[in-house]
Amino acid sequence: MKTPKILITAGEPAGIGPEIVVKLAQEACSVQLIVIASKNLLEQTAARLKLPLKLTSYTGQTSQHQVGHLWLIDQLMPETAIPGQLNPANSDYVLATLNTAADMALSGVVDAILTGPVHKGVLNQTSKKGLTFSGHTEFFAQKAKVDKVVMMLATEGLRVALATTHLPLSQVAAAITPELLTQILRILTDDMQSKFGLARPRIMLLGLNPHAGEDGHLGREELDIIIPTLNKLKDQLNADLIGPVPADSGFKPSLVEQVDCILAMYHDQGLPALKYKGFGEAINLTLGLPFIRTSVDHGTGLDIAGKNQADIGSMRYALKTTIELIASRDKD
């Protein structure tokens, strides 16, 4: 059997990304871990943490992970990173790591990408004029030339996908259209089958309004948009589509156990429950891409950078999930 290759981007150099990468290197796994980052940055981080780290230049070799070792694609960083202090001069460095990662995944050189946290604010101060960096999700979608991707967050025993992501609440209702829900559910069904190995995924949709609209008394989006779209797609998709279920009861353990994924209509409808269940051990996945991409579900941790306080629970779970997704994909 071939050894899967997972490419890790270390994220914002002044944040906790380099620390969680070095800590992850200390754990056993059955894949090859390749990191794209500054060699000096990783070596300095390992020295500060007093952890062993051997870095070997990656030129295409295949080798199963050895504890304390990483294969490295050395990315030049213009200025030395100071933990906790953002430096716009290093923004192009971060973008270069993401570009290389996307190119390698698209060409099939690696089996998946696992991303560390980046800082959107400092990336948008980059010297490259006209750049708007909305996030990893949008960046990889643009690189892969796909029109629509779906953000899913997951922790042990719960997966939540989002119909809308970073929208003001005042704009959410207008964004929930038959076209959007159809796109989202097609992507969810396809990726749950191809990447999660689920022949007929069970997907629960939450209602937009309180009590899922209460037969139109608390809003008509369920009656006019969500239910007709579901009824239409039930005959088109090889999936069990359930709902709309009132959001205040959709996360009952007895219901969660019966489905493979919950589709929330907006960011703060679905994510509080997920983060309460798995805070520190939740991850982010981008569905709809032609490659596997997972990420930690936390920020750059500038306040604790350089203090050996970063927990790798999310990174560890992201690696575990990535390995499982590769295995499920390769069964086909």
| Residue 34 buriedness (CB in 10 A; 0-12 / 13-18 / 19+) | buried
- Would you state the pLDDT for residue 138? 86
Q: Crossing angle for the helix pair 178-194 and 227-234, nearest 10 degrees?
A: 40
Tokens in use for 239?
A: 């999936």
Tell me what the mean pLDDT of segment 87-116 comes to: 95
CA 263 to chain centre: 16
Amino acid at 83: P
Tokens in use for 260?
A: 């493979």
Percent of the chain topping pLDDT 90: 87
- Specify the pairing of strand 150-155 against strand 158-162: antiparallel
Q: What is the DSSP letter of 174?
A: H
pLDDT: which is higher, 135 or 8: 8
Q: Does residue 132 carry a pLDDT above 90?
A: no
Tell me what the mean pLDDT of segment 291-297 comes to: 94
Domains of the chain: 1-146+289-332 (3.40.718.10), 148-282 (3.40.718.10)
pTM to 2 decimal places: 0.91
- Radius of gyration for the alpha carbons in the chain, expressed in angstroms and rounded: 20
CB contact at 8 A, 31 and 64? yes
- Would you state the pLDDT for residue 280? 79
Non-local CB neighbours of 314 within 8 Å, separated by 6+ positions: 280, 281, 282, 283, 296, 297, 298
CA distance 71 to 156: 29
Tell me what the mean pLDDT of segment 146-165 comes to: 94
Non-local CB neighbours of 38 within 8 Å, separated by 6+ positions: 13, 74, 75, 76, 77, 81, 93
pLDDT band at 318 (very low <50, low <70, confident <90, very high): very high
Q: Which helix (H) or strand (E) holds 241?
A: strand 240-245
CA distance 318 to 296: 6
pLDDT: which is higher, 132 or 291: 291
